[in-house]
Structure 1
Amino acid sequence: MKSSKMKLNFVLALALIISLVTAACGGSGSSSGKTESGGNTGKSKVTLNVVLVDNVYNRGLAKFSSEFEEKTGIKVKINVLGQDVAEKRMQLDFIGKTGDLDVAYMSFIMMQRWVQAGWVHPLDEFIAGAEDIDIDDFARAPIESLSIQDKLWALPSFAETGLLAYRSDIFEQKGITEAPNNWDEFKAVAEKIHSKETAAVALRAKRGQGLNMFIFPSMMWAFGGSYFKDYPTDMTPILDREENVKALEYYAELVQKYSPSGAGNYSFAEVISAYQQGNAAMTVDGTSIITQLFDQNQSKFADKTRVALVPEGPGGRSPMIAVHGLAIPADSKNKEEAFEFIKWATSADIQKRIALDDYNLDFTRNSVAQDPQILEKYNFDNGNLLKLRTESLNIARADYRPLIPEWPEIGDLIAAQVNGTVNGGPSAKDALAEANKQVSEVMKNAGY
């Protein structure tokens, strides 16, 4: 009886959330693609419904959207929502096939699931007919991260990659003349600079896709590890292989021995605070976080911060990467107009203007990273931040996290086991053996 009541309460709560989100975003009664009389009569009469996740870039798009309307005659209704609400809103439209949504904000983690379900439309036909898009100006990794089945499913509007940031003053005090190039050197530096006053390093370690599963794979790949036997040909999970175990042991040691107290459940907010307040001397994190360490209004050590590429290992160098893009829902009635908006929203001009208007280093076009005004504004560490960010983005693995529909589920299973070990629970060997068992079951049920 208790279980039935809980299920009923969940269904009622979900129904309430969906009704509120639908109402807030215009619902199925929106005027998307309609004239005042109810018919489609050309671009000047079209209103696009756009759902975006709340971040600096998307707030910039909303701010400048009136210019797109003036330029094209296409009206735009932009809803910038929290991530969970935005995903519910988009999936509600997809499942209901309402055709109410014209542009959707898609992460590379969700792409495979959306494509497999037939929820989004490929962009290749539109790109082939567009002379003013300059597709080669996009960084390589973001394009590859949003491409499967030999098709491109979104244009990248946000691409975060990983870098190492460190306190040059502490390095100098300890006689360290350059940043660690590999993970062995990183650990040696951590041992040398760690103290009660200032821990050596702060890392994301909390369970989650954008938390420990943003950081741990960088070590896993560098140590020569992998998720599957031969991705994407042989999808047999090999999480318990020796290289993965060594990577997790290394990660756990950094957090337990060389990080501030409580670091086993650090999110990015705690990482930023620890570094800015002088409680940690190094971090390996995404560019959206690293950029904030140079903010002199927030960080006590902005002028002493330096950057380097993430350390490498026997398996090479594998910077973290997270890519989001703008996609066209399969049931949109205004696909051509939607592409016009996406083309405008990801253009070099708009990316540059948003980066100048606010602090946003996660643009996806190479030309923006080379623009003189951008170089002047983001001239942190004598220009190294921008230079290394571009280099990192172009060497990052598109399959940093596997591009399969099941990734959200299996990524969370791995994240739980990794977090347990980092916080002093099961050994790395036992944790990854359990993760391998659980992931194997998911893959088997999915038909691999």
Structure 2
Amino acid sequence: MTTTFRALLGATALLALTAGAQAETTITVATVNNGDMVRMQGLMDDFYAKHPDIKVEWVTLEENVLRQNVTTDIATGGGQYDVMTIGTYEVPIWGKQGWLTSLDDLPAEYDVNDLLPAIRGGLTVDGHLMASPFYGESSMVMYRKDLMEAAGLKMPDAPTWADIETAAKAMTDKSKEQYGICLRGKAGWGENMAFLTAMSNSFGARWFDENWKPQFDQPEWKATLDTYLHLMNEYGPPGASNNGFNENLTLFQQGHCGMWIDATVAASFVTGKDSTVADKVGFALAPDNGLGKRGNWLWAWSLAIPSSSKNQEAAKTFIDWATNKDYLALVAAKEGWANVPPGTRTSLYSNEEYAKVPFAKMTIDSINAADPNAPTVKPVPYVGVQFVAIPEFQGLGTTVGELFSAALAGQSTADDALAAAQTAVTDEMTSAGYIK
């Protein structure tokens, strides 16, 4: 073998190695530490078998931290993430800013027309799909059937807040660390304020009147906060001001909550293998007060690609895998139909196997009961059920959430918290030019 031939062979081998190295694309996916997303990470062998040329690095964060990180990254064009897990609040705002990449060119097999209309509508900006829903949710009542029966009560399918208080009182036995109700108390626009804003709708409250004047000084908000604090102080667990979705999920699974009003997506976890009360759980619509609005929200955790991503084709490939019908079938095969990410596709709710899941109908009924275009009893200038779809809301909701969480912790009164919220929100809305 000549020296020249050896050199040629060496060069060819080097080129082959270089091409192989270049063929693998690494994408970074930022997501929330909720159970469905953690489950997805455990199913990545299926993705790699189909797409060996793409490597996925995960950044998995607590909800408030995730929101802060992805907001900072996308607003500055940082390019740290190729796929972001974001919600129905961010998509229309960021889409209009040009911060997101359209997903209109996902493969035909993705079947965009199969997406539930309410969910798809919230993720569409100027006719373009800007994010793909991983799971959709509303909120509902999850309750202990055994404790209700022991108390001689029956939960209505469509309860009022008075029904909720009656049940919470009857199921509370603090000597056994058994609390009648668990609700979000952790501060955050997507934590306690998601719950409280949805709750306030059923009390006839609203964030703003038609002229963007804050409404925390009105009796409807006082009734909302007084009811919430009463329920939590009388019948809730200690330290509730630190509890968000995951903390309350653990409490319920361990048998410490008679009721939990929260995301419909929690149903598979309170009835799953990690729940000590799995066979004792019933479901009902979120409560109302007879005013025509229930205290339930509408949300989708969705996957989106920031415009700053340098790996957009690989990112689209991942999103298609994680949010198409084949992924639902994969989860069903591995984990059972009850653990399929809910609330995104029409075909799931026409599936005879999924129809047998005990919470399937209540979930879709709850999603259909929420109207982001008319979220309140009185007219409002905004859309959004548990949020106000303006850029300022992220900061406003967190500020008010901190004030209300402090009231729950006993650091202030309801009246003081509402007065401080009215002042803070008025100042911000004036500075932002909403209030003339």
Secondary structure at the counterpart of residue 213 of structure 1:
helix
Work out which of the residue numbers 207, 228, 232 in structure 1 matches 2:187.
207
Distance 1:255 1:183 in 2: 13
CA deviations on 1:72-104 (whole Å, 9 max, x unpaired) are x68323122122776677567646657675433
Structure 1 unaligned regions, length at least 5? 1-34
Would the aligned equivalents of 1:256 and 1:423 in 2 still touch at CA under 8 Å? no
Work out which of the residue numbers 245, 248, 256 in structure 2 matches 1:268.
245
Work out which of the residue numbers 265, 272, 275 in structure 2 matches 1:295.
272
Aligned pairs (5 A) from 1:397-436: 397-398=371-372, 399-400=384-385, 401-436=387-422
Aligned to 2:284: 308
Structure 2 unaligned regions, length at least 5? 1-16, 373-383
Aligned to 1:118: 98
* Residue 316 of structure 2 is aligned to residue 342 of structure 1: no
Aligned to 2:369: 395
- 2:360 alignment partner AA: L
CA deviations on 1:337-369 (whole Å, 9 max, x unpaired) are 543442332111113323553445445223224
Deviates more, 1:416-425 or 1:164-173: 416-425
Secondary structure at the counterpart of residue 442 of structure 1:
helix
* Residue 232 of structure 2 is aligned to residue 252 of structure 1: no
Secondary structure at the counterpart of residue 120 of structure 1:
coil
Distance 1:268 1:218 in 2: 15
Aligned to 1:17: none
Would the aligned equivalents of 1:48 and 1:101 in 2 still touch at CA under 8 Å? no
Would the aligned equivalents of 1:228 and 1:235 in 2 still touch at CA under 8 Å? yes
- Give, in angstroms, the shift of residue 389 of structure 1: 1.0
Aligned to 2:59: 81
- 2:286 alignment partner AA: V
- 1:170 alignment partner AA: L
Deviates more, 1:140-149 or 1:168-177: 140-149
Aligned to 1:19: none
Work out which of the residue numbers 180, 183, 197 in structure 1 matches 2:161.
183
* Residue 418 of structure 2 is aligned to residue 441 of structure 1: no
Distance 2:411 2:76 in 1: 43
CA deviations on 1:224-270 (whole Å, 9 max, x unpaired) are 1111213xxx4332232221221111111100112233334333344
- Give, in angstroms, the shift of residue 114 of structure 1: 3.3
Aligned to 1:216: 196
Distance 2:312 2:124 in 1: 19
Q: 1:195 to 1:46 in 2, by over 3 A?
A: closer
Distance 2:402 2:147 in 1: 34
Q: 1:79 to 1:158 in 2, by over 3 A?
A: farther
* Residue 141 of structure 2 is aligned to residue 164 of structure 1: yes
**Percent identity between the aligned chains?**
28
Distance 2:317 2:230 in 1: 50
| Greater share of strand | 1
Q: 1:157 to 1:244 in 2, by over 3 A?
A: same
Would the aligned equivalents of 1:296 and 1:303 in 2 still touch at CA under 8 Å? no
Would the aligned equivalents of 1:202 and 1:255 in 2 still touch at CA under 8 Å? yes
Q: 1:243 to 1:150 in 2, by over 3 A?
A: farther
Q: 1:434 to 1:66 in 2, by over 3 A?
A: same
Aligned to 2:8: none
Distance 1:171 1:98 in 2: 52
- 2:406 alignment partner AA: G
Deviates more, 1:387-396 or 1:186-195: 186-195
CA deviations on 1:7-60 (whole Å, 9 max, x unpaired) are xxxxxxxxxxxxxxxxxxxxxxxxxxxx9569x9xxxx5736241314444455
**How many residue pairs end up in the alignment?**
396
Would the aligned equivalents of 1:49 and 1:101 in 2 still touch at CA under 8 Å? yes
Secondary structure at the counterpart of residue 138 of structure 2:
strand
Secondary structure at the counterpart of residue 258 of structure 2:
strand
Secondary structure at the counterpart of residue 228 of structure 1:
coil
Would the aligned equivalents of 2:27 and 2:314 in 1 still touch at CA under 8 Å? no
- Give, in angstroms, the shift of residue 310 of structure 1: 1.0
RMSD (Å), alpha carbons: 3.3
Distance 1:413 1:404 in 2: 15
- Give, in angstroms, the shift of residue 146 of structure 1: 2.4
Aligned to 1:9: none
Q: 1:280 to 1:106 in 2, by over 3 A?
A: closer
Distance 1:100 1:280 in 2: 40
Secondary structure at the counterpart of residue 238 of structure 2:
coil
Secondary structure at the counterpart of residue 329 of structure 1:
coil
Distance 1:102 1:206 in 2: 29
Aligned to 1:16: none
Would the aligned equivalents of 1:252 and 1:423 in 2 still touch at CA under 8 Å? no
